[in-house]
Structure formats: C-alpha cells, structure tokens
A and B are shown apart, each in its own frame.
Chain A
Amino acid sequence: MAAPEAAQRRRRPHTLSLFVANKPGVLVRVALVFARRNYNIESLVVSPAARGDFSRMTVTCSGDPATLEQIIKQLTKLVDVVHATDHTGDASYETEVALVKIVQPMDRRTETLQIAEHYGAKVVDYGPESLILRAYGGSEKLDAMIELLRPKGLTDLVRSGKILMARGLQET
C-alpha cells in the first residue's frame, strides 16, 4: 500500500547508531553535537547494550546533509562514544512501536478495526469511549497507518522512535 502524501512529503531523516559508555552526561554530550550545528533530533532511543557498562543509541535527525559528516566525526570524537555509524538507506533491520489512541463510539469502529487488522496492530485497550492500538514495524508503514487513522478520531500518538540492527556480521 502506498504511503499517503503527507508522509511522502516528510523529509527523509538520517539514521545513526551509536555505541556509547553508559555514563551520566553522555546523552547531553551527544545532543549538544547536534544542537550546536542546528540539527534537529527527531527521535532518540537509548537502551542497554549486550556488553555491560555500554549503551546503544539510535538517532534519527534532519538537517543539512553536508553537516552530517562533521556530526558523525564530532560524535566519534567524544570520549564516551565508542563508535557512531550512519545507517541511512542501508539494509539494516529497522523497527519502531507506535501506540495510538482513537476516541470513537463503540458502534463506529468497524473501519478502524479493519485498518488495524491490515497493519497487524493489536487492540491493547478497548474502552467505551476510546481504544488504544499498538503497532510495530518500519517507520514508513507506521506513518501510513497513522494517516489512515487520523480522521477516525486519533487523539494521542506515542512512538518509540526507530531502533535498528545491522545484518550479518556488520557492526551496528
């Protein structure tokens, strides 16, 4: 299914993966590298890595592509960053979770549930005034589902931000 127009128009963000020491302040140091260069971070996921004392960060960001090389170098230069890799457009496995709240009377939910079923979204809360859907998958797929749900009474949206992992023996 083709993504609706709004999602297509959205600027394609860059996706970076960082392997960092799990220390206080590391998130601020990373964020400042972007902010100083007028880059906007669109999503950022931090989680413990397989090795103790280290964390993974997946950052999606948008801004001048020419600046990206410098951003990656400045991230790599941080003492607490072990490596920073640009995964934009590569074959890494990417996924994201979205929670969507729809406020809709019980008797008008047929189409909403059809959309949910099509996208493999699960109804995780089914109340008299509203329902919550949980969907996961590629960010563009979630964008498409969300656009279809907007006219159905979508009131709240929480997305986890993209996470990714490089395939095979390639480093994430």
Chain B
Amino acid sequence: MSAASSAAPPTPPPAATPTGAEVLIRCLAREGVRRIFGLSGGAAIPIFDALVDSQIELVLVRHEQGATHIADGYARASGRPGVVLVTSGPGATNTVTGLLTAHMDSAPLIVISGQTIRPNLGTDAFQEADVTGITYPVVKHSYLVNDAAEIPRIVREAFHIATTGRPGPVLVDIPKDVSQGPCSANFVDALDLPGYQTPGRAAPEALSAAAALLAKARQPVLYIGHGAVISGAGKAVMALAKQMRAPIVNTLLGKGAADETHPLHLGMLGMHGTAYANRAVTHCDLIMAVGARWDDRITGKLDEFCKDAVKIHVDVDPAEFNKVLRPNLCILGDAKLVCEELLPLVQPCNSEEWLEQCDKWRQKYPLRYPKRGGLRAQHVLDRLDAITGGRSIITADVGQHQMWAAQFCRTREGRRWITSGGAGTMGFGFPAAIGAKFARPEEEVWAVVGDGGFQMTLAELATARVHNVAVKVLLINNNYLGMVRQWQEMFFENRLSGVDLEGNPDFVKLAEAYGVKGLRIRRPADVDRKIEEARSWPGPVLLVAEVVKEDNVFPMIPAGAPIANMIIEPPRTPLEKPSGST
C-alpha cells in the first residue's frame, strides 16, 4: 500500500537511537503486556516491525472488531488490560464497536492505532481518519501522540487510566512518522494527572450511616453488579450477606461476584431475571447496590421501582450517583473495601421471615422450560451447567441464548461469566471466549452464541485454529434473530420483519472449512454425549445445537413496565407495545 507515498522517505535512525515504535513496545512490555491482538496496515507497519524483535506475542486476527472483543474477553477473564494494535482509517474505525462495548461495561482496553504522518493530518490523506475525534464518546481517555518523546508518559498514563477506578478503554493514536522516527525518551514512572482521582476507602461517616440504615431493615436485598466483580468483592459481599442474613440478586454482568448456587442467592434480576429475584426486589424494604447502576433493564418503570424501599448505592464512580434515581445514601469507594469495612458494623437483620418468603417464591416460580416438542436451548444450557459443574468460563453473545445462558448457567465466582451487557454487542461472545482462553489457558472456556451474532465475527475461527485456542463454541441455532422475533410475536401481532436468517450456512461444514472440529446436536437425547465429545476434543470446537425455531425467554418484564408486571408464563392475550427503550 502507499503507506509512505506522500512524504520523503524517512532516514533510518542511527542504531543507537531506538524508534518511537521500539520505545512503545518496550513500554508495553514494562506494563506487563505479553500478548497483543492486532491486524496490520500501512500506518502501523513500524509498530508491527518492532514486535518482530520483542518477547510480546502478536496474535493476528481477521477483523479489527474481533481484536477488540478478544482483548476485552482477555481483560475480563484476567483483570489485566487487553491490548489491541490496528492501522489507521478503517482499521481504527473497525474498533469503535469494541470500544463502545468495553466502555459501557468498564473493561480495561488499550487500543493503539497507526495514523497518517503528522504533515498529512487533516488533508484527507490515504487511510486517514480523525480517530481520536470519532472515538471521544466511547473512550475513558485518548491520546493523539504528537511527539515521540511523549510515548513513555502516554503509555504509563494510558495503562493507569484504563485499569484504575472504574476501568475503561483508552485509545492511543500514533502517526507513522512518530513511530518510525527516533525516540530517546526514558521510561516514566511518576504520574501527573491532577484531573484524575481514584476513590479507595469510603468515608467513615458514610459507612456508619449505612450501618444505621441496614440495622433497621427487615427485608433487605443486596443488588450486586459488575463493579463487585471488577473489584474482587465476591467474598466480602457473601460475608456481608451472611452476616446481615440478606438475600443477594445480581445483574447480568454481576453474575458470579457471589456464588449463584448459594442458598442466599436468588440469581439474576431484571428484564429476564428470575421471578423470585424480581419478587424480592419488588417487596424489599432496603436495597443496597454494590457496583451496579440501576440500569433500565433492572428498574423497569422507574417511578415504581422499589418505591418505598431505602436505597443505598456503593460505587467507585461518583457520576453514577443520582444519575437514574436518588438513593437515600451514596457511598463512594471501592466495592470490596466498602463491603469489608461494613462487615464489622452490621448485625443480623431479623430477616428470617423474609428469607422464608424468598424461598417460597423460589419454589413457586422456578425457571422452567417445556421438556417436549424438540431440542430446546434451555435444555442444552441446563445440561452444560450440570456437566461442567459450573466450573467453566462462559462467554455469551447477545440475544435469547444469552438470557437463557444467564438463567441456566449459574456462575460460582467472578470472571467466569463474560458478556456484552451495556452495549449489547452481537458478535462479542465468540472472540471474547478466545481472549478468555488466552488469559486462562488452564480453564475450560465455552462461548454460547446465536446464529445471528456468531456470523458477525466468525472469521476469528481462523485465529482460534492457528493458535489452537481450545474454545468450545455452543451455537444455539434457531435460524432467527430470536429476541426480536420474540418481541414481534408478543408485542407486534407476530408481524415478523427482518428476523428470518434464511440462508444460514451449514455451520458444521463451515467449521470444518476452517479446520475446526464441527459437531451437531439434533435430538435432546444427544445433548450430553455431544457436550462431552466437545469437551474431550483437544482443540477448538463448534457445537451446533439445532433448536426449535420459535421459543421465547421467560420470565420477561416488558421494557419500561414496572417489575410487578413481570410475565412468568407465555401470555394468552395480546400485549401492549412496551413504552421503554428496546
């Protein structure tokens, strides 16, 4: 390509002076980076060149969006930042969806993009895009590197910002003449970021105020979100629940912060949460959010959400306070530290009647699915949970299969459940599993995907094959964009529009074309055997479950409706169109 066509050929720097790219790679190594996920291109060639002599392994992906999701899965599975390297223009714009996904779900991601040479900036040069401009709304912070001497400081800051406080993605855009030119700057350790604070311990007054409110509760609920997973607050949350005698509910992304199989745990709340979790939230007299943000999937109709309950909000990001609703008490601090410091201040809540009531709901409204009428996704996922003992890492894509996986695959600990919650990015699940397996190769990693989302990033089958990343992909194939079809059936008089995935390939043959093991389940009787066969295969596997075409996720709270309007069983009468968003 014409990467260097428009400028005078750069003179190679003397051997003694490293290039900006070489300094960049050394800085990344110093941050503990062992692997970079990327796709090359003209403006990034100097950086790819510097990787040749580095200990850092380059994982070549097939699409830049795949790189961002792989790095995101790597980050969420390990707690360490995922690093992406792409070229300028379209290479960089292909990371925008991945940046949004990471930004919405607070995942630490570093995206390094090549950029046209500095004299060409703003001239519509080949493969030039204003990448810092395009990405402002979807990054925690970003840099356009104007001087190679700034590289060590910028890398140090980028990693600090991406990984501390509420984590998030940071973009570093590097013009090619900066990466190719000489750089004699030294490593930087000291940080000078006067506009950036990361809360740690909570104010003692806030903790004692919380203890006073908790002491009065008789029907408390702990509402646990992704922040608890990120801060590693699982044990502290469970200890607090046991001490208070309070039930736990978690959000889609909070799954596993505390063990979902524990008797005090009521599972996931919200739009497709368990009926008993949602009943508990409807009837509680106190709800304490730990690293959760009262998302519209959770609250339903806001005016009626926990109307009379005391609300406490623990978060590391003060901008979340009073954003959606006004809690009685906000506690700024790290979720784990806050829970640990609260523990000695709280007493059992005199909540035995309440816990009995929650158990009654649990027994009255268990998660159910029809056992007859063909192969069902719920059955496959239920068996996956049983066979793996819930000990695998599960990534989920977005749609019906995601909600069924969230319901039936109960998560026992943090960083074992990875999905795109905030952005709802189809195509996330499969590459995220590759990243999770890279991060924790000793773990069994399953990607639960649908036929719609999988086709958005399936080119990473090649990445999995080349690096022999032994992810097990469970493809729930109903040949529909099933969640939208469900809405159209329930709320739009079954007027199906844009949901029939006629033309799907034979996915087993597709896997085989990539050199990946392909397996198929057609009958309920084959489920266990095929799951075991996939587990015992040493490399990546695509296990295609050909499930019934028309099935719906229940329970369901129509968007914007009060939680109390939860639909537990398939409705017999037509429903009104939901007032809430999506």
Contacts from A to B (Cβ < 8 Å): 20-21, 24-25, 28-29, 32, 36, 69-70, 73-74, 76-83
Interface core residue of B136, B144, B193 (most chain A CB under 10 Å): B136
Interface status of B132 (Cβ within 8 A of chain A): yes
Known: A21-B194, A24-B144, A25-B144. A77 touches B133 (CB 8 A): no
Q: Nearest Cβ distance between residue B564 and chain A, in whole angstroms?
A: 26
Within 8 A of A (CB), among B144-176: 144, 146, 161
Would you call A82 and B195 a contact (CB within 8 A)?
yes
Q: Nearest Cβ distance between residue A142 and chain B, in whole angstroms?
A: 33
Contact of A32 among B137, B322, B323 (CB under 8 A): B137
Interface status of B64 (Cβ within 8 A of chain A): no
C-alpha gap A78/B193 in the complex (Å): 11
C-alpha gap A148/B419 in the complex (Å): 62
What are 6 inter-chain pairs, A to B, with CB distance below 8 A? A32-B136, A69-B322, A70-B319, A77-B319, A79-B193, A82-B194
Q: A28-B133, A82-B194 are in contact. List 6 more A-B contacts (CB 8 A).
A: A25-B132, A32-B136, A73-B318, A77-B317, A77-B319, A80-B195
User: B120-155 toward A: CB 8 Å interface, digit per residue (1/0)?
Assistant: 000000000000110011001110101000000000
Known: A25-B132, A25-B144, A70-B319. A79 touches B137 (CB 8 A): no
Would you call A29 and B136 a contact (CB within 8 A)?
yes
Would you call A79 and B195 a contact (CB within 8 A)?
yes
Q: Which residue of B lies closest to A80 (CB)?
A: B195
Question: Inside 8 A of A81's CB, which chain B residues have their CB?
Answer: 195
Question: Inside 8 A of B146's CB, which chain A residues have their CB?
Answer: 24
C-alpha gap A36/B137 in the complex (Å): 9
C-alpha gap A107/B318 in the complex (Å): 62
Q: Nearest Cβ distance between residue B155 and chain A, in whole angstroms?
A: 15
Contacts from B to A (Cβ < 8 Å): 132-133, 136-137, 140-142, 144, 146, 161, 193-196, 317-319, 321-323
Q: Nearest Cβ distance between residue B192 and chain A, in whole angstroms?
A: 10
C-alpha gap A134/B137 in the complex (Å): 39
Question: Inside 8 A of A78's CB, which chain B residues have their CB?
Answer: 195
Q: Which residue of A lies closest to B140 (CB)?
A: A79
Contact of B319 among A74, A82, A83 (CB under 8 A): A74
Question: Inside 8 A of B318's CB, which chain A residues have their CB?
Answer: 73, 76-77
Would you call A79 and B323 a contact (CB within 8 A)?
no
Question: Inside 8 A of A76's CB, which chain B residues have their CB?
Answer: 318-319
C-alpha gap A83/B141 in the complex (Å): 16
Question: Inside 8 A of B142's CB, which chain A residues have their CB?
Answer: 25
Would you call B195 and A21 a contact (CB within 8 A)?
yes
C-alpha gap A76/B318 in the complex (Å): 10
Question: Inside 8 A of A29's CB, which chain B residues have their CB?
Answer: 136
Known: A24-B144, A28-B136, A32-B137. A79 touches B196 (CB 8 A): yes
C-alpha gap A80/B132 in the complex (Å): 15
Q: Nearest Cβ distance between residue B56 and chain A, in whole angstroms?
A: 26
Question: Inside 8 A of A74's CB, which chain B residues have their CB?
Answer: 319
Q: Which residue of A lies closest to B170 (CB)?
A: A79
Q: Which residue of B lies closest to A72 (CB)?
A: B319
Interface core residue of A79, A80, A82 (most chain B CB under 10 Å): A79
C-alpha gap A144/B146 in the complex (Å): 47
C-alpha gap A70/B196 in the complex (Å): 17
Question: Inside 8 A of A28's CB, which chain B residues have their CB?
Answer: 133, 136
Q: Nearest Cβ distance between residue B113 and chain A, in whole angstroms?
A: 15
Would you call B161 and A79 a contact (CB within 8 A)?
yes
C-alpha gap A78/B322 in the complex (Å): 18
Question: Inside 8 A of B133's CB, which chain A residues have their CB?
Answer: 28
Question: Inside 8 A of B136's CB, which chain A residues have their CB?
Answer: 25, 28-29, 32
Question: Inside 8 A of B140's CB, which chain A residues have their CB?
Answer: 79
C-alpha gap A77/B196 in the complex (Å): 7
Question: Inside 8 A of A70's CB, which chain B residues have their CB?
Answer: 319, 322-323
Q: Nearest Cβ distance between residue B421 and chain A, in whole angstroms?
A: 20
C-alpha gap A76/B146 in the complex (Å): 25
Interface core residue of A20, A24, A77 (most chain B CB under 10 Å): A77
Question: Inside 8 A of B195's CB, which chain A residues have their CB?
Answer: 20-21, 78-83
Would you call B141 and A79 a contact (CB within 8 A)?
yes
Q: Nearest Cβ distance between residue A75 and chain B, in whole angstroms?
A: 9
Q: Nearest Cβ distance between residue A30 and chain B, in whole angstroms?
A: 10
Question: Inside 8 A of A25's CB, which chain B residues have their CB?
Answer: 132, 136, 142, 144
Question: Inside 8 A of B132's CB, which chain A residues have their CB?
Answer: 25
Q: Nearest Cβ distance between residue A133 and chain B, in whole angstroms?
A: 38
Closest CB pairs A-B (n = 5): A73-B319, A82-B195, A79-B141, A79-B196, A82-B194
Q: Nearest Cβ distance between residue B491 and chain A, in whole angstroms?
A: 28
C-alpha gap A82/B317 in the complex (Å): 16
Q: Nearest Cβ distance between residue A69 and chain B, in whole angstroms?
A: 6
Q: Which residue of B lies closest to A78 (CB)?
A: B195
Interface core residue of B195, B196, B321 (most chain A CB under 10 Å): B195
C-alpha gap A76/B194 in the complex (Å): 11
C-alpha gap A168/B141 in the complex (Å): 34
C-alpha gap A25/B322 in the complex (Å): 28
Q: Nearest Cβ distance between residue B325 and chain A, in whole angstroms?
A: 12
Q: Nearest Cβ distance between residue A33 and chain B, in whole angstroms?
A: 9
Question: Inside 8 A of A80's CB, which chain B residues have their CB?
Answer: 195
C-alpha gap A73/B146 in the complex (Å): 29
Q: Which residue of A lies closest to B142 (CB)?
A: A25
Q: Which residue of A lies closest to B166 (CB)?
A: A77
Q: Which residue of A lies closest to B197 (CB)?
A: A76
Question: Inside 8 A of A20's CB, which chain B residues have their CB?
Answer: 195
C-alpha gap A25/B317 in the complex (Å): 23
Q: Nearest Cβ distance between residue A120 and chain B, in whole angstroms?
A: 39
C-alpha gap A76/B195 in the complex (Å): 8
